[in-house]
Amino acid sequence: MILHSFVDYVRGWLPEEPKMPKSKLERILQPIAVLVAATTLVSLFSSIFTVSQPIAALSTPLVVRSTPGLSLVEFEGVLQQNNTFIMVLTNGTHITSKNLTMTFSVTERGGNECTAHLAVECDNFSSEASVDGRIVDGNLVIDSTRSIFLINPNHNLSRTKRIVLTETDDWRLTATVNTLSGKPSTAVEPYGVTALMVSAHNLLTEEGWPMSLILGYDPTSGMLVYSGYSLSDVLLKKVGIELLLGGSLGLVSYSDDLNLEFFNRDLFWAKLNAKFFLFDLHLSLLAVLAIVAIVLFVIRKRRKRRQLGALNILELYDDSTQNCGKRGW
């Protein structure tokens, strides 16, 4: 208490600095500084919040615990509005359906021997088959014919982007490999999966049916993780399907031995929108600063003109006064 009184006593002897009135420039610059600081803080915290958001974890049912040597993927059909799946059967008939599920698995038996299993189910059809196969150079081979359900993903793309997916004695299915990884959609929204994309258009099946393929493969294992438009394969024929048309097959579950990478589309667009928002905010700030700079420039020019006008008036007044003195007026 004594110290506080002493400080007040000493402060009373010290002269205070006079507070000068703010100039027009200072009054204008102060809100600009506040605007710039506020915009910078908002941009900084928004950027930190957007970048620091983690990709949401996939739901637990999507991962299936597998037994040793077993790799499995399960697909669910995805249709656009008013579309249907069409299945051309090996007996010459065809059926349509609004729903479709497909499960494919490979079980290694030692060496290059394996067992391939495929199950297909829809509204009016259900079939499954397990067949013996071999893994040759990373490709699944059934009855001496390569299957497009499992391919070797390590293609030498520096020499060519065209590959042969499968072939028989008088028929070959060639396709183009995209050198960039794709993000095809899964049946679990809003996720996509990182995949090696392979496409082929305006083709005919071995029996002459028109076909277009857009396929996605796991870049590590070569397992099929996406199929679009149409599908025909030696393994499909084992379950009585010659050609599958319409919609797409999106991944709905997979075995835990597959190290798949997923992509959250909603989070991607949220980050992109946040970046555009910050960009627009910065543009708005620059526009405000540009307008203020123009206003200040105009004010300064007008002030100089007034000062020059005042000086000219004073000079004219001085000249007239001197002339009057000389003439004795």
Q: Which residue has the tokens 């390569």?
A: 146
Per-residue pLDDT at 259: 86
Question: Which ranges in the chain belong to alpha helices (H)?
Answer: 2-13, 24-52, 234-238, 265-327
Q: Is the pLDDT of residue 324 over 80?
A: no
Strand pairing class (241-255; 63-64)? parallel
Q: 82-86, 114-118, 228-232, 285-289: which has the minimum mean pLDDT?
A: 285-289
Mean predicted confidence (pLDDT) in 145-171: 81
Per the CB < 8 A criterion, the answer to whether 219 and 107 are in contact is no
Distance CA 165, CA 177 (A): 10
Structural element, H or E, at residue 252:
strand 241-255
Mean predicted confidence (pLDDT) in 207-211: 84
Q: Is the pLDDT of residue 226 over 90?
A: yes
Per-residue pLDDT at 16: 53
Please indicate whether residue 311 or residue 170 has the higher confidence score (pLDDT): 170
Classify burial at 176, counting beta carbons within 10 Å of its beta carbon; exposed 0-12, middle 13-18, buried 19 or more: middle
Distance CA 246, CA 79 (A): 7
Residues pairing with 113 in the sheet: 110, 134
pLDDT tens digit sequence for 23-46: 555 555 566 666 656 655 655 555
Q: Return the SS3 of 310.
A: helix
Per-residue pLDDT at 54: 47
C-alpha dist (Å) from residue 91 to 94, 147, 187, 206, 274: 9, 21, 30, 15, 55
Distance CA 329, CA 327 (A): 6
Q: Is the pLDDT of residue 51 over 50?
A: no
Please indicate whether residue 308 or residue 167 has the higher confidence score (pLDDT): 167
Q: Name the residue among 263, 227, 260 with its Cα closest to residue 71.
A: 260
Helices (H) and strands (E) in the chain, counts: 4, 17
Measured torsion, CA atoms of residues 90, 96, 98, 103, in degrees rounded to the nearest 10:
0
State percent of the chain over pLDDT 90.
37
Q: Name the residue among 153, 161, 174 with its Cα closest to residue 217.
A: 153
- Highest mean pLDDT (candidates 24-33, 251-260, 285-294): 251-260
Per the CB < 8 A criterion, the answer to whether 120 and 241 are in contact is yes
Residues pairing with 131 in the sheet: 116
State percent of the chain over pLDDT 70.
61
C-alpha dist (Å) from residue 205 to 39, 101, 145, 213, 236: 60, 22, 14, 11, 13
Q: Name the residue among 104, 115, 110, 106 with its Cα closest to residue 71.
A: 106
Mean pLDDT of the chain: 77
Distance CA 239, CA 119 (A): 7
**Pair of tokens at residue 55:** 């990709």
